[in-house]
């Protein structure tokens, strides 16, 4: 799980071009949007792409997206849960 | 109408450099764009997405508003020939690389030509008129004509400008213009046009013309000048783009040898470099006695013949 | 200063000319169908590029589909007009794709092929397709291109009207054109903005848009031009405005501020109160965001008395830069036919508003003032108002 969270942080920094941010700056439970990391709705679309491209998880429902993409913790938990369900 | 602010980012020392028209010499091959510290103007979280053309345009726009002490322009009008070409290219690369799955959308979102004008309005939370003209070498002239219509229609202050970036894999400007010696560059220039006389500004934008698919310069220039009650003899400085020898010969015949100045040699080559020329002309007019052009420079004409079948004319003067 | 509309031309998924488009509108026949290649619902023009080249008898060469569609509609609008040194005539077109339908083909080749590279570059100039249209119709002088994404076509029309009003021109051919190309099909796909089935503008269950292609053109003349050409006005263009939403690069604000401003200012320009509008042709793309935002704007401007309104994108798909121009032609047809145009695929009003669009082609209705909305990326909002000629 820790590896997955680290991987997610690296992918977010890379794909969202967060030039001044390191993995240490992103807390596991830090809200990714608004007051936490400060991502916006264009970034939200990119996170959906990361989930699909790198982790095979499709997010098509906006309300699901809002919950799942809340923090690194919620993203990692969802990936694990979906992978377990698909075994 | 008055021009109350001007700002240019280019491959020369132009940004926030009053008097640059006397200081610059011909652009050298390999010169890089002289970027200001963008982080002073744009937050990192916004900067991270922006291609060069967006950064340049936004910073020039903000600089202009500072100069004019203007919070909100009544209108924002932009000319751009190749738009957000880098984002366009990036998205095309992503399409090529994708295997049918989801493609990252940011490049697409930022690729439309009006992203420049749109991002400026977004930053300012400006709800006014917002327009983008994309007619290759005439994009800036059309943006200026539009801005003048805005002022005539009641706008007090209009932010108008042009920007183009360097993206030769999509548009090889040397090949397109058949100009072997051209130095392809990027550039952005913005201006504030004001309806009323603004203290400290005595530079006027008098008239602009955009002529597509035309031949020859002489008749068109004569018509343009006479409709402004001027003749060639009244022009003190003729700024031109060095498109062909024919252009130079024809302009020399019309205006004589002493008044011509090749702005393209200074600005480098990009399709909207007549915007650079306008700033150059404004800067030249700000001198009482210009080191290159002398005293009593009053009427300046910009002749943009960068694409030979297109002719852009911009007339400015100084109120003494 | 009056702006007369004296010519119209259109090509879309529902027809290759004005008459065909009108018949489809009358019979509520959509042009959107499933494309097997992309697996998407698309509003395709039913001619290939070669078929358009043959139809127009063009010399062989490289033509962007943008140019070809523009030529079909532009020629129809220009009609039998000729150039006259006493009539200052110009052209303002609009496109978001421009020549990129060609560029992208050659770009994908150009990594290994110089000739392809050259063609790719040659076509990557947004204004070039307008120049090709101008050259084909022998225009010279003011030839311009507007590119503001989905509001482009409406903005080109507005620009033409302003050039007339500013006494720069007497007669101007205005409109927009966009083809279906890999770039925009993949681009909108990346935004996850499609309805996988046919779009349902203003419906509570709407899921997104369908892309379309086409071109629409109008010929505008002032009184001076009219006195020489003797054209019979189809209607007048009496109000226009452009305003910015300034909310987000791609999404519209929840309260539709930019849209409201554009409509309020266009009404003021036309010297009208909201009650005088007979019919509204909405932007109505079928996305969750646009239709709600636009509905809120309509409520803000018209209060409880919202005039009959519909989106015609259920017929054509969203034709991007052509949309504002194609829909302007439909507004002229609405006035000519004295009819309200239908909003296809509507079943249930949005929970938030309860608003019900017009869902039939309803003739025998007095149509005097028609309002048309077009909203583009970058928060660009444009409103045009047409008036029946007396």
Q: What is the average pLDDT across C308-331?
A: 98
CA distance B30 to chain C (A): 22
Q: Of the ranges B84-93, B117-126, C115-124, C281-290, which one carries the lowest mean pLDDT score?
A: C115-124
Q: Of the ranges A76-80, B136-140, C14-18, which one carries the lowest mean pLDDT score?
A: A76-80
- C83 given a catalytic annotation: no
* Chain C residue at shortest CA distance from A45: C191
pLDDT at C116: 67
pLDDT at C390: 87
Per annotation, catalytic residue among C81, C235, C283, C331:
C283
> Cβ A48–B102 below 8 Å, yes or no?
yes
pLDDT digit string (tens) for B55-105? 999 999 999 999 999 999 999 999 999 999 999 999 999 998 888 788 999
| Contact residues, chain A, for C188 at CB < 8 Å | none
Mutation site, A40, A45, A52, A57, interface B, largest B CB count within 10 A: A45
> Cβ C249–A48 below 8 Å, yes or no?
no
| Contact residues, chain A, for B48 at CB < 8 Å | 16-19
How many whole angstroms separate alpha carbon B290 and alpha carbon B11? 23
User: Which C residues, 196 through 225, put their C-beta within 8 Å of a C-beta on chain B?
Assistant: none
Q: Dig out the tokens for B69 from the structure.
A: 């002490």
Q: What residue ranges define each of the domains in chain C, with the CATH number in brackets?
A: 3-229 (3.40.47.10), 239-387 (3.40.47.10)
Q: Is C247 on the interface with A (CB under 8 A)?
A: no
Q: What is the average pLDDT across B267-282?
A: 98
> Cβ C121–B125 below 8 Å, yes or no?
no
Mutation site, C40, C113, C115, C124, interface B, largest B CB count within 10 A: C124
> Cβ B81–C145 below 8 Å, yes or no?
no
| Contact residues, chain A, for B102 at CB < 8 Å | 48-49, 52-53
User: Which A residues, 14 through 53, put their C-beta within 8 Å of a C-beta on chain C?
Assistant: 41-42, 45, 48-49
Provide the CATH number for the domain around residue A26. Answer: 1.10.1200.10
pLDDT at B198: 67
Range of the domain at A42: 2-85
- C108 given a catalytic annotation: no
Q: Is B109 on the interface with A (CB under 8 A)?
A: yes
Nearest CA to C302 out of C324, C280, C271, C286 is that of: C280
Q: What is the 3-state secondary structure (H, E, C) of chain B?
A: CEEEEEEEECCCCCCCCCCHHHHCCCCCCCCCCCCCCHHHCCCHHHHCCCCHHHHHHHHHHHHHHHHCCCCCCCEEEEECCCCCHHHHHHHHHHHHHCCCCCCCCHHHHCCCCCHHHHHHHHHHCCCCEEEEECCHHHHHHHHHHHHHHHHHCCCCEEEEEEEECCCCCCCCHHHHHCCCCCCECCEEEEEEEECCCCCCCCEEEEEEEEEECCCCCHHHHHHHHHHCCCCHHHCCEEEECCCCHHHHHHHHHHHCCCCEEECHHHHCECCCCHHHHHHHHHHHHCCCEECCCEECCCEEEEEECCCCCCEEEEEEEECC
As for how many domains chain A has, the answer is: 1
Which of A41, A48, A60 has the CB atom closest to C248's CB atom? A41
Q: Is B49 on the interface with A (CB under 8 A)?
A: yes
Give me the percent of chain C exceeding a pLDDT of 70.
Answer: 97
Q: How far is CA A9 from CA A17, A68, B178, C68, in A?
A: 12, 15, 48, 48
| Contact residues, chain C, for B122 at CB < 8 Å | 246-249, 378-379
Nearest CA to B281 out of B313, B250, B246 is that of: B313
- C318 given a catalytic annotation: yes
| Contact residues, chain A, for B104 at CB < 8 Å | 15, 45-46, 49
pLDDT digit string (tens) for C25-75? 999 999 999 999 999 999 999 999 999 999 999 988 889 999 999 999 999
pLDDT digit string (tens) for C298-319? 999 999 999 999 999 999 999 9
pLDDT at B253: 95
Q: What is the average pLDDT across B152-170?
A: 93
A36, pLDDT greater than 90: no
> Cβ A45–C192 below 8 Å, yes or no?
yes
Q: Of C277 and C118, which is predicted with more confidence?
A: C277
Q: What is the average pLDDT across C201-210?
A: 97
Which of C121, C159, C242 has the CB atom closest to B171's CB atom? C121
pLDDT, mean over chain B = 94
CA distance A58 to chain C (A): 12
pLDDT digit string (tens) for C237-264? 999 999 998 988 888 888 889 999 999 9
Q: Is B100 on the interface with A (CB under 8 A)?
A: no
Q: What residue ranges define each of the domains in chain B, with the CATH number in brackets?
A: 2-194 (3.40.47.10), 204-318 (3.40.47.10)
Per annotation, catalytic residue among C199, C235, C318, C383:
C318
| Contact residues, chain B, for A36 at CB < 8 Å | none
Mutation site, C192, C194, C206, C377, interface A, largest A CB count within 10 A: C192
Give phi and psi for B57, each to the nearest 5: -65, -45
pLDDT digit string (tens) for B30-45? 999 999 999 999 988 8
What is the value of pTM for the model shown?
0.97
Bridge-based pairing state of the strands C32-35 and C40-43 = antiparallel
Q: Is B136 on the interface with C (CB under 8 A)?
A: yes
Which of B49, B105, B109 has the CB atom closest to A17's CB atom? B49
pLDDT digit string (tens) for C82-116? 999 999 999 999 999 999 898 888 887 766 677 76
| Contact residues, chain B, for A16 at CB < 8 Å | 48
Three-class SS state of C220 = strand
CA distance A73 to chain B (A): 22
Confidence band, pLDDT 50/70/90 cuts, at residue B189: very high
pLDDT digit string (tens) for B214-269? 998 999 999 999 999 999 999 999 999 967 888 899 999 999 988 999 999 999 99
> Cβ B101–A20 below 8 Å, yes or no?
no
pLDDT at C110: 67
Q: Is C190 on the interface with A (CB under 8 A)?
A: yes
> Cβ C192–A60 below 8 Å, yes or no?
yes
Q: Is C108 on the interface with A (CB under 8 A)?
A: no
Q: Are C219 and C363 in contact (CB under 8 A)?
A: no
> Cβ B119–C249 below 8 Å, yes or no?
yes
Q: Dig out the tokens for B227 from the structure.
A: 């409709």
pLDDT, mean over chain C = 95
Q: Are B241 and B304 in contact (CB under 8 A)?
A: yes
User: Which C residues, 129 through 168, put their C-beta within 8 Å of a C-beta on chain B?
Assistant: 130-131, 134-135, 139-149, 155, 159, 162-163, 165-166, 168
B199, pLDDT greater than 70: no
Q: What is the 3-state secondary structure (H, E, C) of C28-76?
A: CCCCEEEECCCCEEEECCCCCHHHHHHHHCCCCCCCCHHHHHHHHHHHH
Q: Dig out the tokens for C271 from the structure.
A: 């010297």
Q: Is B270 on the interface with C (CB under 8 A)?
A: no
Q: Is A60 on the interface with C (CB under 8 A)?
A: yes
pLDDT at C111: 64
Q: How far is CA C139 from CA B12, B190, C85, C88, in A?
A: 38, 30, 12, 11
Confidence band, pLDDT 50/70/90 cuts, at residue C327: very high
């Amino acid at each position: 799980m820790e590896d997955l969270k680290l991987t997610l942080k690296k992918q977010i920094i890379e794909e969202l071009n967060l030039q001044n941010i390191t993995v240490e700056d992103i807390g596991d439970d830090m809200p990714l949007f608004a007051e936490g990391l400060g991502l916006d709705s264009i970034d939200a679309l990119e996170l959906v792409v990361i989930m699909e491209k790198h982790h095979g998880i499709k997010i098509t429902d906006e309300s699901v997206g809002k919950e799942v993409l809340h923090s690194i913790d919620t993203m990692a938990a969802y990936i694990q849960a979906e992978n377990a369900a698909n075994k | 109408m008055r021009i109350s602010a001007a700002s240019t980012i280019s491959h020369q020392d132009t940004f926030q450099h009053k008097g640059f028209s006397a200081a610059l010499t011909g652009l050298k091959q390999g010169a890089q764009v002289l970027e200001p510290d963008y982080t002073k103007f744009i937050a990192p979280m916004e900067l991270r997405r922006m291609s060069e053309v967006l950064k340049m345009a936004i910073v020039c726009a903000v600089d202009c508003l500072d100069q004019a002490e203007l919070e909100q322009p009544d209108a924002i009008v932009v000319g751009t020939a190749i738009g957000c070409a880098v984002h366009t290219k990036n998205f095309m690369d992503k399409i090529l690389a994708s295997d049918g799955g989801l493609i990252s959308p940011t490049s697409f979102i930022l690729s439309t030509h009006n992203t420049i004008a749109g991002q400026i309005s977004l930053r300012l939370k400006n709800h006014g008129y917002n327009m983008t003209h994309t007619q290759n070498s005439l994009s800036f002239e059309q943006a200026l004509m539009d801005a003048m219509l805005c002022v005539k229609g009641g706008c007090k202050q209009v932010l108008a400008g042009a920007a183009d970036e360097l993206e030769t894999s999509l548009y090889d400007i040397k090949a397109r213009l058949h100009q072997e010696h051209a130095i392809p560059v990027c550039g952005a220039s913005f201006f504030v046009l004001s309806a009323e006389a603004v203290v400290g500004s005595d530079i006027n934008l008098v008239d602009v013309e955009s002529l597509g698919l035309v031949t020859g310069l002489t008749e068109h220039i004569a018509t343009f000048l006479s409709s402004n009650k001027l003749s060639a003899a009244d022009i003190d400085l003729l700024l031109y783009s060095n498109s062909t020898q024919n252009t130079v010969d024809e302009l020399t015949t019309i205006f004589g040898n002493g008044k011509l100045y090749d702005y393209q040699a200074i600005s480098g080559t990009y399709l909207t470099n007549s915007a650079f020329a306008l700033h150059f002309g404004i800067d030249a007019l700000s001198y009482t006695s210009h080191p290159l052009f002398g005293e009593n420079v009053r009427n300046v004409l910009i002749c943009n013949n960068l694409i030979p079948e297109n002719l852009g004319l911009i007339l400015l003067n100084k109120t003494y | 200063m009056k702006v007369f509309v004296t010519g119209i031309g259109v090509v879309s998924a529902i027809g290759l000319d004005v008459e065909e488009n009108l018949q489809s509108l009358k019979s509520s026949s959509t042009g959107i169908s499933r494309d097997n290649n992309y697996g998407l619902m698309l509003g395709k023009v039913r001619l290939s590029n070669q078929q358009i080249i043959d139809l127009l008898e063009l010399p062989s060469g490289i033509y962007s589909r943008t140019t070809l569609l523009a030529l079909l509609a532009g020629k129809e609008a220009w009609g039998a007009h000729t150039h006259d040194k006493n009539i200052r005539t110009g052209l303002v077109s609009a496109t978001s794709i421009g020549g990129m339908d060609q560029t992208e083909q050659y770009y994908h080749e150009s990594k290994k092929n110089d000739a392809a590279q050259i063609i790719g570059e040659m076509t990557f100039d947004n204004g070039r397709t307008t120049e090709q249209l101008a050259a084909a119709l022998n225009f010279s002088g003011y030839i311009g291109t507007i590119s503001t994404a989905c509001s482009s076509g409406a903005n080109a029309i507005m620009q033409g009207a302003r050039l007339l009003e500013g006494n720069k021109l007497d007669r101007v051919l205005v409109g927009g054109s966009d083809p279906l190309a890999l770039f925009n099909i993949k681009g909108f796909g990346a935004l996850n903005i499609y309805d996988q089935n046919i779009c349902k503008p203003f419906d509570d269950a709407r899921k997104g848009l369908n892309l379309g292609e086409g071109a629409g053109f109008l010929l505008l003349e002032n009184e001076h031009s009219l006195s020489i050409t003797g054209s019979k006005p189809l209607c007048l263009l009496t109000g226009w405005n452009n305003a910015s939403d300034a909310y987000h690069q791609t999404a519209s604000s929840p309260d539709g501020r930019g849209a409201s401003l554009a409509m309020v200012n266009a009404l003021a320009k036309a010297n009208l109160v909201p009650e005088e509008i007979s019919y509204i042709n909405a932007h109505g793309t079928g996305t969750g965001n646009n239709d709600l935002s636009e509905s809120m704007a309509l409520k803000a401007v018209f209060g409880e008395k919202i005039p009959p309104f519909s989106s015609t994108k259920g017929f054509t798909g969203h034709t991007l830069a052509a949309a504002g121009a194609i829909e302007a032609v439909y507004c002229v047809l609405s006035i000519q036919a004295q009819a309200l145009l239908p909003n296809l695929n509507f079943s249930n009003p949005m929970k938030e508003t309860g608003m019900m669009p017009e869902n039939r082609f309803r003739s025998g209705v007095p149509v005097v003032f028609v309002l048309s909305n077009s909203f583009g990326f970058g928060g660009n909002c444009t409103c045009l108002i047409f008036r029946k000629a007396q």
